[in-house]
Structure formats: structure tokens, C-alpha cells
Structure 1
Amino acid sequence: MRASPTIHALWVLFAAICLSPSVTAQSPSLHPKLIEIATRENLPPYVVGGAAHGIEIDLVRAIFDYSDYEPVFIQQPRVRMITAFESGQINGILTQHVLASNIGCSTDWYIAHQNVALTLASRNLTIEGLDDLKGLSVLSFSGATRYLGPEFQEAVTQTKRYTESGDQSKHIQLLYKGRFDTVVGDRWILALAQKSQFTETGEYLELKRHPIMKPSLYVARFHDQKICDAFNLGLRRLRADGTYAEIWNGYRQSLAVMNDRDGDLPQ
């Protein structure tokens, strides 16, 4: 789930995005309590511009708009995030698997990552599951065999050629050129890569999306049960009043090269 689009492309893609949630808190404090929350290093479109924006950042800010808390995002590498939280240096941590830890309290799931395989629509390939990667040349992000689990790791041992690369902004270009049969990664990171390719070169080829894995659902963790409760309450209200879907839809529209009506958004 890693991406590193160029700074120029990010400015082009996100300068016009103003996704301040249109949510009014029910009874906010005049002096909200600041809470430090560990989040990932820049991972467009989830965490962008020093955690100023991004799908995940905008969702969490909107969730806490309903509370007396104000999040302060501390960007760290994954291992440092966990260490800082477990040692009590910070109040909370984002993007955690619900079973990854028993320290503090776990919130309800608030964000999903959907890993997909992309192929050129013109090739009309059918990929309905991991087994269908057999015999194909596959490109994925650095560490994919570690992050996507043992079933994915086993599947890629049967591919014609398997390569991992950290610069996902180049993956679409390599797919367009026919260097690989399919690219595997997070749906929205790859959407950003295709948008970046179009913005920089004007080149666009229709791609087919294959949801070869179930979505991974992530929670936040906090040391204080009151913060977990406030988070869950805000999340429920966000989903109920439509703001949750509004944030996701805003990013989907901004990332689409052409009209994208394929697939439901996580709710």
C-alpha cells in the first residue's frame, strides 16, 4: 500500500481539493482537548501533504468534529508508530488491524483498503481470484508479499514473473507498455497513479479492475476508552448523515480520469 507520485503531480491533483467536512459538531467544546495520533508517512491519496489532507486524514478529522477532541497527526514509519503508541508517548494510532494489538481500546473499523489487480481492458483477461495470477507477469508494491498475506505470497510463486517496485507512480506506465500482464495494489493508490500518468502525458488506456482479495478493514486504537467512545459515536453520525460517503465520493471524482462508476465504496 505504498506510493510515491512526484511532488508536481500531487500539487496538480490535490491543489483543487477542498474537502473540509460539512459537518457541524453537536456540542463541541470551546477549548477542545488536543490528542496526538500516530499516522503513516505520506501515502497519497490516504495521507497527503504532511497529513494536511487525504482520505484517511479527512475522515478522522470529520469524526472528531462531533467531539470535544481535536486530533494532532504525528507522521511516523509503521514501526515507530507502534512503538510510540505502545510506550504511551502518544494518545492514539491509526490504520490498525483489529487483532494486531490488545493495548488500549479498539474503535470500530473506519477505513478499508481494497487490493485489486489491474489489466488492460483490450486484453480481456479474466482474473477472479489469486489462483488466476498463475502464468501471468505480475507487478506489485514493495513488501506486497509481506503485507498481503500468505495466500498472495503462495499465488505469486506460480506466476510467470513477479516483481515488486516501490514507485507505484510508474506501475501504470509499465502496464500500458505491456511490460506486465497485471499490476496488483490498493485500488485508490493505483487510481492516483493512472491519474498522474494522464496528467503528465495525456495518455489514457481503459483498465479492468479485478477485486482479487477481500477488503482489509482498519481500526484506530487509543489508551483512553472515552476517546474510543467519542470516535465511534462520531463515526456513526458521519455515516448516518452522509458525510462519510461524501468524503469518499469527493476523492473518487478527483482521481477519476474518466467516469468511474465501477464498484461500491466502503461504508
Structure 2
Amino acid sequence: MNGFRVDAAICLMLLSLLFTACGQEKTPTPPPPDANPEVDIIPEPIEGADRPQLTVAISVDIAPYVMKNAKTGIEVDIATQALPSYQLNFVQMPYEKLQSAVAENQADMALGVQKFKDVEGIFYSDNFIDFVNSAITKKSAGLKIETVADLADHKVLTWQDAYLELGPEFKKLFSPDSPQRKNYVEVADQSDQVRQFWEAKDAVIVIDRSIFNAISQSTGHQLDEVEYHALFPEATYFKANFEEPDVRDAFNAGLKKLCESGEYAKLLKKYKIDLPSTICDSKPKP
């Protein structure tokens, strides 16, 4: 009898514990009325992932136009703001290759090109940026540079294909078959161009003033050590070119909006670019 009572007591204790545990189980929260438990939750789309992608050829870094591996710079900002409906993927290359990047299917568009002639299937934008080029010398060299002809007997450091872009006199003086070509050096990387100028004793550098100033100051040189010689046209204008005419049209429309809103002027101020005129001025551009 005593053994039976003990067994019964134990059974009652176990039953009590079992009912207590069952009572503590949480009742599952029912799904909301619209939920379908068999369907996975779709993540939010990545910003910009639904925009058409464009591969954009752009120059190697030349402050203040292109900087930090084409992450910033006025050319990057202009293109990005002029084409907000597209995702732009920048690919850097030397200036000489920019001219043919679209024609050779290396890019959908290229920034900083000039239209030397019509090319079938290539569509050119309006002017989107302008450079003010000068011949620059060191005051210590004491060079007298008043005309383009005065460059003939000096070492001239400039960018690729510059002889095509700085007027007929400069072209004649430094064309490939000219005897003065021996003094003429085209440098693909304009940071290297500026470096060579500062290392040389009496070279003349032909370059956009904003590029020269930015690179020189970033490398510790003083601008009061040089002279600027205004030998060339007021400005050299550059375009973008495209594989598709509708993208070109969207770019032109975006440029117009940047001008009308004042954003273009703000970008010039942001990057400390001082120009006698800009693409936003009403006078016609070449």
C-alpha cells in the first residue's frame, strides 16, 4: 500500500509539471491578413540599380576636372548631374584614346573630346566644358614669350594632340612634319607634364591654367614664381560624344538645366575654376 501511494504521488507530480509546461507555451502570433507564409520577403532594390548603365570614358586624373580616380572633379559632377536617369560607370584613359573610345566600342560615351570631323554613328554633344590655355614660364628663366612664334626655339611641354587644338599658327609651328617639332613634347599624364616643367630649367608649359595651378599648388610650388602668356584663343571647348543620339539629347538637355538653374556656375566656384566665359553664356560657341 505504501508503495502504491508513493507511485501515485509521483504520477500526480509529473502530471502537474506537464500541465504547467504546456500552459507556458506561447501562442504563435498569427500572420497579418495579407501575408503569405510561403512567399519570401523581397528586399528593397539597391538605389540606382534600375537605371540604365552607361560606360563613360574619361581622362586620367587632372585636377580640378577629374580627381580621385574619377570619383570627383567638375567633369564627373557635370556628367552625373546632366544625366540623372542613368548610372554612369567611369573608365579612365589617356586623352588620345578618349577621341576613339566610342567608335572602338570601349565606351557608350566619352567626355572631353573635340569634333574634328563627322564620324558616322558617333553623336556629339554641345560644348560642356572649356579650358583657358596659356604658355607658362618660370620668371627665373627670363624667357620673352609674346607670340606663338616665340615658342619655336624652346622646349614646349603640352598634352596629346595639342597642336590640333590651339589655332592655325600653333598647328603649323608644331605639326609632325615641322622642324620645330623636335622641341615639342606631348605628355599623356598632365600631372607628369607639370612635374617635368618644374624640374626643367627653362621649359615652356602649354596647359589649362586651372590644371596647372591645382597640380602645382598640391605639390608645394608657388604660383608667384611663374608668368602666364596669353597666346591662344580665349578658350578651348570640349564636347562629349555618344553611341546613341537619345542619350546625347538627354545630356544636352541636362546641360541646359544646369545653366538655367545656376548649378553650373556653382560647380565652377566649387572647383575654383575662373573663366572669362562659359558654356552657359549666350554667345555662340564653336
TM-score class, shorter-chain normalisation, is 0.5 to 0.7
Indicate the residue corresponding to 1:94 in structure 2. 111
1:83/1:218 CA distance change after superposition, 3 Å: closer
Indicate the residue corresponding to 1:41 in structure 2. 60
What is the distance in 2 between the residues matched to 1:197 and 1:84? 31
Aligned 8 A contact 1:139 1:180 in 2: no
Aligned 8 A contact 1:114 1:211 in 2: no
Indicate the residue corresponding to 1:192 in structure 2. 214
Indicate the residue corresponding to 2:261 in structure 1. 241
**The one of 69, 74, 84 aligned to 1:50:** 69
1:26-37 correspondence runs (5 A): 31-37=50-56
**The one of 220, 228, 253 aligned to 2:248:** 228
SS at match of 1:44: coil
Indicate the residue corresponding to 2:129 in structure 1. 111
SS at match of 1:45: coil
What is the distance in 2 between the residues matched to 1:144 and 1:106? 19
SS at match of 1:248: helix
Aligned 8 A contact 1:117 1:183 in 2: yes
SS at match of 1:183: strand
Residue 95 of structure 2 corresponds to residue 70 of structure 1:
no
Q: CA deviation at 1:204?
A: 5.1
Aligned-residue Cα RMSD (Å) equals: 3.4
Aligned 8 A contact 1:172 1:194 in 2: no
SS at match of 1:73: strand
What is the distance in 1 between the residues matched to 2:146 and 2:272? 23
1:151/1:103 CA distance change after superposition, 3 Å: farther
1:109/1:165 CA distance change after superposition, 3 Å: closer
**Which structure 1 segments of 5+ residues have no match?**
1-28, 254-260
The residue type equivalent to 2:253 in the other structure is L
TM-score (norm 1): 0.67
Indicate the residue corresponding to 2:205 in structure 1. 183
The structure with higher relative contact order (CA 8 Å, sep 6+) is 1
The residue type equivalent to 1:63 in the other structure is A
The residue type equivalent to 1:107 in the other structure is S
What is the distance in 2 between the residues matched to 1:187 and 1:172? 14
What is the distance in 2 between the residues matched to 1:208 and 1:169? 14
Indicate the residue corresponding to 2:193 in structure 1. 168
Q: CA deviation at 1:78?
A: 5.0
1:90/1:119 CA distance change after superposition, 3 Å: closer
Q: CA deviation at 1:121?
A: 5.5
Q: CA deviation at 1:117?
A: 0.7
What is the distance in 2 between the residues matched to 1:113 and 1:184? 12
Aligned 8 A contact 1:129 1:213 in 2: no
**Which structure 2 segments of 5+ residues have no match?**
1-47, 280-286
SS at match of 2:71: coil
What is the distance in 2 between the residues matched to 1:97 and 1:84? 13
Post-superposition Cα deviations, 1:187-230, rounded to whole Å, max 9, x if no partner, equal 222112321342xx6x5534332232222212112222221111
Q: CA deviation at 1:151?
A: 3.2
Q: Percent identity of the aligned residues?
A: 24
The residue type equivalent to 1:188 in the other structure is S
The residue type equivalent to 1:162 in the other structure is N
Q: CA deviation at 1:148?
A: 4.7
What is the distance in 2 between the residues matched to 1:59 and 1:130? 33
The residue type equivalent to 1:129 in the other structure is T
Query: Number of aligned pairs?
Result: 221
Indicate the residue corresponding to 1:219 in structure 2. 239
Aligned 8 A contact 2:161 2:186 in 1: no
